[in-house]
Amino acid sequence: MEEKKETGRRRPLIAGNWKMFKTSAEAVETASALAKMTASATGRDILIAPPFTALQAVSAAIAGTGIDLCAQNVHWENQGAWTGEVSAPMLTSVGCKYVIIGHSERRQYFGETDDGVNQKIRSAIHAGLMPILCVGETEDQRKSNKTFSILDKQTLKGLEKLALGSLENLVIAYEPVWAIGTGKTATTEQAQDVHGYIRGLIEKNFGKALAKSMRILYGGSVKPSNINRLMEMPDIDGALVGGASLDAGTFSEIACYTAH
């Protein structure tokens, strides 16, 4: 707790990733309820990432509230013959402020590579979006002691050829793949350990100032019952929440965490 006070100059961010859930009408209903329930939560940023089809309607529903809009993916080109894809300028045009890039489900099921992730980050930054770069090891990689080398690769390749000045709005989300949607959460100590490592990696490669200001979120079975302990850790600046963000009541409990 002490340590957090000394280093904690980062504004916490609680992010809800709705994945492929909710029609536009359902998304608007949840977003509006959430905005009311979190109206008194100050000193933090709260965002929701509905599916593409709900972005515009949710954008209108949360206008003027404390909730920000985020997309779950983006293409690396601004426009072109890319059937089924959506570009960064299209996302900003409907009010997105953030975009999730390189989520493990995209890497695992849609073959996203670190190079592709890097291109997407560059495109997002160019359009003025704040990218949330997702990194994290699988269970096998953790068991075979490859956690840190995987994180090195995903983080440094993801941020390759990016100018230092362009990274100030980038957020990193550490999501151990084995903890996503499984109910298994990394212990707060395990999470803090990795967050400290990632911050050290940023410091080594991009300098102290960026390392100090960069927000690093934890993701993987975050719930109302574990958010406070996670937020007490000095290098955990927020959470990327999947399943528990789908219900306005549950997600507002997480967003209204009280730890300092």
Nearer to ligand PGA, 211 or 242 (CB): 242
> Is residue 6 flagged as an active site residue?
no
The 10 Å CB-count burial string (b at 16+, else e) for 223-258 is bbebbebbbbbbbbbbbbbbbbbbebebbbbbbbbe
> Is residue 232 flagged as an active site residue?
no
* Catalytic residue chosen out of the listed positions 105, 112, 137, 175: 175
Least gap, CB of 107 to ligand PGA (angstroms)? 12
For residue 127, give the amino acid letter.
Answer: A
Nearer to ligand PGA, 181 or 249 (CB): 181
Rounded CA gap, 142 and 28, in Å? Answer: 39
* Catalytic residue chosen out of the listed positions 75, 103, 105, 112: 103
Nearer to ligand PGA, 18 or 76 (CB): 18
Please give the residue whose beta carbon sits closest to ligand PGA in the complex: 242
Chain residues in the site for ligand PGA (CB under 6 A): 17, 175, 180-181, 219-222, 240-244
* Alpha helices in 38-173, H assignment, sequence order: 52-62, 88-93, 104-110, 114-127, 139-143, 147-158
Classify 131 in phi/psi space as left (phi over 0), alpha (psi -120 to 50) or beta: beta
204 in Cβ contact with 2 (< 8 Å):
no
Nearer to ligand PGA, 181 or 200 (CB): 181
Least gap, CB of 181 to ligand PGA (angstroms)? 4
Least gap, CB of 5 to ligand PGA (angstroms)? 28
Residues marked as catalytic: 103, 175
